[in-house]
Structure 1
Amino acid sequence: MDAGEQFAVELARVSRQWRKRIDERLRHLDLTQARWMVLLQLSRMGAPVSQRELADIVGVEGPTLVRVLDNLERQGLVERRACNADRRVKLIELAQGAGPVIAEIGRIAAGLRQELLEGVPAGELERARELLKIIADRLESGPRG
């Protein structure tokens, strides 16, 4: 296995295990990975977003997102409303009661991040971030041939 392949394997392993650990720590909030990811994206956006845009951002198919939103709506964490410009479009936004849940997700994620990155020099983290940004930018620019 060459260095690039080893890197890809480790990156996938870290990503999978990190999400698994957060899932375990958020279980008491009745939040699956799909639910907390939607909540975090909505909180970062700060404005209502269409279901289609949200599905693209989160990386799921429309029907999958509908089920996630149904559950979040039942939990009182998101609201759906018709768009004034196009009544066929549903806009999604955080419900008023979502604030404490978002804060708890942030607290738990920060604690895990601190735990996992403890002792790693800031310079190494910055170099790793730069490398991941290069890879992400290439992935987002689309196919290269």
Structure 2
Amino acid sequence: MNMKPTQLQQELKKKQAFQSPEIEAILNILRTSDQLQNRLGKMFREYGLTSSQYNVLRILRGEGKPLPSLEIASRMVQVVPAITGLIDRLEKQGLVRRKRCQKDRRVVYVEITSAGKDLLDEMDAPLSALHEELLGHLAEDELHELNRLLVKARQNCCVGARISG
């Protein structure tokens, strides 16, 4: 049987078919993720941030109040092994500030500063435009289906506990 090479086979210049559709799907997800992360990472660097730092700021802005650092870590899109170092760098940039809990000195609350909110506000429109550039060619029903399938694909991935810093 002489099957036409898939798009991913062509991109990777792979001569043989993939061993299974599962392998091809995982490689497609990883390749797509890498390309999206590269484009998004480039934008974040233009604003002096990493994707993880941006994620922390978005979590804090969305919550609207200070959060314990471990709570922030549990809400991250990508697992970060050292949330403390991440918050240190944001604090040095003046984008967040820490406050110790008066009742339990072990708990550290983190809040976004006005400078952090201003930076996110400045990034909102360009980031929205980049999202549109990257995925705007998909119809709304295709985006819903993509989201549904990605959630379904993660069901068997996330059995273990998330790592926090």
TM-score (norm 1): 0.84
2:42 is paired with a residue whose SS is helix
CA RMSD of aligned residues (A): 1.8
For residues 129 and 68 of structure 1, the distance between their equivalents in structure 2, rounded to whole angstroms, comes to 28
1:107 aligns with 2:132: no
- Residue 104 of structure 2: which of 61, 73, 86 is its match? 86
More helix as a share of residues:
1
> Which structure has the bigger radius of gyration?
2
1:139 is paired with a residue whose SS is coil
- Give the share of equivalent positions with the same residue, in percent: 27
The residue number in structure 1 matching 2:27 is: 9
- Residue 134 of structure 1: which of 113, 129, 152 is its match? 152
Q: Which residues in structure 2 correspond to 1:11-26 (within 5 Å)?
A: 11-26=29-44
2:124 is paired with a residue whose SS is helix
For this pair of structures, how many residues does the alignment match? 140
2:147 is paired with a residue whose SS is helix
1:60 aligns with 2:80: yes
1:81 positional shift: 0.3
Unaligned runs of 5+ in 2: 1-17, 161-165
TM-score (norm 2): 0.75
1:93 is paired with a residue whose SS is strand
The residue number in structure 1 matching 2:52 is: 34
Tell me which amino acid in the other structure corresponds to 1:60: V
For residues 57 and 124 of structure 2, the distance between their equivalents in structure 1, rounded to whole angstroms, comes to 11
For residues 50 and 110 of structure 1, the distance between their equivalents in structure 2, rounded to whole angstroms, comes to 28
For residues 143 and 123 of structure 2, the distance between their equivalents in structure 1, rounded to whole angstroms, comes to 22
